[in-house]
Amino acid sequence: MNKITLDPRQISILESASAAFAAYGFRKTSMDDIARGAGMSRPAVYLHYKNKEAIFRSLVTSYYILSTQEVQARLEQDLPLVELLEQAFAAHGGTAIETMMNSPHGMEILDAGSSVAADIIEEGEARLRQIYSDWLSGQMESGTVRMAAEPAETAAAFCAALKGVKMTAPDYQTYSRTIALMARLFGAGLTPSQS
């Protein structure tokens, strides 16, 4: 899951599908809605994707590729620990979470992910946990952080907490405030005490 190559027509289809899913929900979005938004005929869309489930899977794949790249880039910055975590946690959700949470169909879209793209989500989440775990290992070795658990367990806690906020926040503003609070809490827990 390191790279995805799309032609401009596929990008138009995915952008249109994302907007349609946000506006109508996954179930009510039709291939006609997606084609119309992409400025294409329905048969032209079928040349690229066999159905809206395949389009949705491609959107989820794109989300995880971008998310892993962005989280990795944020963790490589030379910033104070809490600020670094705030940026990484924000990148973890990215603009896709904002779009979904601002949609009246956000929970339906989340549910569709579980049924249509569970394998992609599992692989993407595993990759994010690994990125956090590798970063924590390096930070622990350099003495920048201390942990009461192994890096992999702490990384899993990051991802579980972020998923929990995504599933329970009533809106994007609450989500953003809560992940910033989580970054401060995790940062305080990881900061070595001054002797």
Average pLDDT over residues 4-30: 91
Model confidence pLDDT, tens digit, residues 84-139: 999 999 999 999 999 999 999 988 998 999 899 999 999 999 999 999 999 999 99
The reported pLDDT for the residue numbered 195 is 45
Domains of the chain, residue spans: 60-190
Instruction: Give the residue-averaged pLDDT of 47-67.
Output: 96
* Residue 178 near residue 105, CB atoms below 8 Å: no
Please tell me the predicted confidence (pLDDT) of residue 23: 95
Q: Do 88 and 74 contact (CB within 8 A), yes or no? A: yes
Residue 1 has pLDDT above 60, yes or no: no
Q: Which of 6-10, 143-147, 168-172 has the lowest mean pLDDT?
A: 6-10
pLDDT at residue 4 tops 80: no
pLDDT at 191: 86
Range 60-190 has CATH code 1.10.357:
yes
In this predicted structure, what is the pLDDT of residue 192?
81
The string of pLDDT tens digits covering residues 147-194 is 889 999 999 999 999 999 999 999 999 999 999 999 999 999 998 865
Is residue 3 predicted with pLDDT exceeding 60?
no
